[in-house]
Each structure stands twice: as structure tokens, then as C-alpha cells.
Structure 1
């Protein structure tokens, strides 16, 4: 091998070494970049975990606040229902075209039909409630001076001769919506109310519902979004 050939071969080897060193340098840079990326990913994962934990705490706090709010709302609702203990609602009584019916006269007609002694002094007020509709007459709310007189109507409400007419308790909006929702629930066989307390019949057994939370104890499949809306009067 001549000196020139040897020099040429050495130059080729040097080029290969330069390429190898360059590749090695790139590998080191890639390793360093991967290390930084892994470190950053670990930080992101920790931040995500911290965010999830914080979100869970916020949800728990929100749930507790909502539960306390619901409890307060229902306590107030109980007071409102107690204030209705001397009143009833009468449904199905024919309504005049003007809607200006004499509620007390209609109440006395119902009392006569049920053979209940009723004097003007027994009645605090009686009037129709709600918006006038063409499809059906508005109910009449009757408030009595005494709870005893109200009970006379409730005890004889099944004796109305006209099946289109019926008497119910004067429930608060929350209890009325809860009752309506339960009537639409397929697993509920029957519903009723007594002294403002709602009862439902499930699997042949009667259960008392004092608040929407009591639905948890019934084993029913409940749409809780709907139940929550019951509070939003």
C-alpha cells in the first residue's frame, strides 16, 4: 500500500469516526430530551392527579351544600304544609264561563251532598285557584276555621256521588310535584297522602315518603335529576 493510499484510507476512517461521534452526540441529546419529557410527563400526571382530587373534594363539598340546602328547603316546606292543615282542594266542580264562581256556595253544595253540617262561620275562605282552562274546571281551595271541620270532609270524600268530583289534601308545590312524579313511576302501585305525608305502595307494601331523600329507601329506580327539580319551585 502506498503512502497516498494509506492517507486516503485514514481520511475515510476519520470521516466515519466523525459520523459516529455525531450520531453518539445526537443519541445523548435524544436521551436528555427523553429524560426531560419523562420528567415533564410525571409532573403533568401529578398535576392531573391533584386536579382530580381537588375536583372530587369540590364535588363532595357541593353535594354537602346541596344536601343541606335541600334539607332547609324541605323544613320550610313542612312549615308551609302545616299552615295548610285546615284546607282542602275540591276538583271537578263545574265552572262558569266567566270563572267568577261563588266558592263558598259550591263548598256548601258539596257539604250538603256529603251530609256535613256547614255554617258560614266554619269557612275562612273558598275560591278557585290556577289559570282558567277550557279542558277542565279549576279546583277550589277551601280553608276552614278548624281542623276538625276539614277532617269531616276528608273522612267523607269517598262518598261524593259524582265520580268526576273528588277531594284531596291541599299539598304544597313540592309535595304535589313529588306525588305527580311518583304516580308516573311504573313500580309504584298506588299513592296517597295523609296530613301532608305522602305514601306509596311498592310490592304490596305501603311506604311513607317524608322527603324526596326517602325515595332512596324504596329500592325504586329514581331519576334524581327530576327529583332535584322538585326542589326548584
Structure 2
């Protein structure tokens, strides 16, 4: 009798393990779809926040200082992300109308270290030199990259970065670049003996725009998600 019960329990444990693995893979696929929906977005941190500001104008002026011309039609929407009143300038998220213009600004982000002077700009050269542009990541990917950066500080990996939302690491200097899809992938790259599911859950954070925003049938812009 005990053998029969043990066999039944083992079968159920195996079934549960398979379901957990299936759920994890489904979650990773959904996360990839959500990340893809953010491919037109860029986060801009370090720009002081003022009352009645125009984030569209701030982004346009900042782009000019990087040598990139952005027309109103190039911007789908912009706004601050996070809760107001924290005493810190909230990041600006900008969703571009086309990927080419998004990449043009993102690739020119290092030009802001020595910004071009722009007459009447809403952004000073001092502020421009301290801004930071980054990919707009899902909550899950934010947490994964947070862990990756800590692993870098600990000397367990050489580098970690994102490329239009794709997470990449390099274990050692000169080593091959490894694309990671999840926290489990990251841990497996660093410690192949680690079991799936050992990672902690991702903390809550500001996500910016919700997945796959777009224009309605009328052609009008959807409202930005705050």
C-alpha cells in the first residue's frame, strides 16, 4: 500500500513540476511580447521637473543638443513616469512614431556629454550633460537587469546591457555575448547548477506605457498611460 501511495505522490509531483515549467515558459513568452511592444520607447532620466512643463518640448530640445532633429510628427506621446511629489525629478518616457527616429536619438545619446548649444532651449547644457537615456523595460526585465548589474559589481560577470529591450551579458572580457530572456537564463549562465525557480519575484516598479498602445480607428492618439 505504501508503495502505491508513494508512486501516486511521485506522479503528482512530476505533473506539478511540468505545469510549473510550462507556466514559467508562458510567462517568459508574454514578457517578450510586452517588451516588443515597447520597442519605440525610450526613458530619459535627469531632466528637472517643473510645473506646466511640456515634455514634448523638453525631448525635442534635448534631441537638438544631441544633434538630432525631431519634428512633432516624430513623437507619438511623452510624459513623466512615477508618482509625483517625491522630491525627485521623475523620468520622462517618450514613444516615437517610428523606429528610425527612436534609434537616431538613442544612438546619439553620448553626444549629450558635450551638448550642442541651442538658443532658447528648455534644457541647459549642464542638465543635458547629466541626462541618461535607456530602453523602456518591462517590470520583469527591469528586475533581471538589476540582478545582472549586481552580479557585475560582484565580479561574477563582465558586463550587462540591453539592446532595444534585448538583455545581453558577457561573462568574461572578450567572451561571447549571451542573450538572456529571463532571470532563470541569467542564473543559468552564471551558475549552471542552479535550479529553475530559485530566483526571487520581481519588485514593483513604474512600467511606463502599457503593452501595445496605438491609435484608434479615428486616427487620434490614444491617451498616455500615467
User: What's the TM-score once normalised by structure 1's chain length?
Assistant: 0.70
* Distance in 1, Cα, partners of 2:188 & 2:149: 17
* Distance in 1, Cα, partners of 2:142 & 2:90: 16
Alignment match, 1:179: 145
Please say if 1:114 is aligned against 2:66: yes
Alignment match, 2:157: 188
Please say if 1:227 is aligned against 2:199: yes
1:135-186 Cα distance to aligned partner (Å, 9 max, x none)? 5321111001100000001111122224531100111111111111111222
Please say if 1:149 is aligned against 2:105: no
Please say if 1:207 is aligned against 2:207: no
* Distance in 2, Cα, partners of 1:109 & 1:224: 46
* Residue of structure 2 aligned with 1:66, choices 4, 10, 20: 20
Larger Rg: 1
Alignment match, 2:167: 198
1:42-89 Cα distance to aligned partner (Å, 9 max, x none)? xxxx62x55444443333222211111111111111111111111110
**Distance verdict in 2 for CA 1:112–1:183, change over 3 Å:** same
- Of Structure 1 and Structure 2, the greater helix share is in 1
User: Whose RCO is larger (CA < 8 A, sep 6+)?
Assistant: 2
Please say if 1:160 is aligned against 2:129: no
* Residue of structure 2 aligned with 1:83, choices 37, 41, 64: 37
Q: CA deviation at 1:202?
A: 1.3
Q: CA deviation at 1:108?
A: 1.0
Q: CA deviation at 1:112?
A: 1.2
Q: What is the alpha-carbon root mean square deviation over aligned residues? A: 2.6
1:177-226 Cα distance to aligned partner (Å, 9 max, x none)? 11111112221332100121101121222321123342354133869656
Contact 2:149 2:160 in 1 (8 A): yes
* Distance in 1, Cα, partners of 2:53 & 2:195: 40
Alignment match, 2:83: 131
Q: 3-state SS of the aligned residue for 1:229? A: coil
Please say if 1:56 is aligned against 2:5: no
Alignment match, 1:218: 189
Please say if 1:105 is aligned against 2:105: no
* Distance in 2, Cα, partners of 1:108 & 1:216: 40
**Distance verdict in 2 for CA 1:231–1:223, change over 3 Å:** farther
User: What's the TM-score once normalised by structure 2's chain length?
Assistant: 0.72
Unaligned runs of 5+ in 1: 1-45
Alignment match, 2:215: none
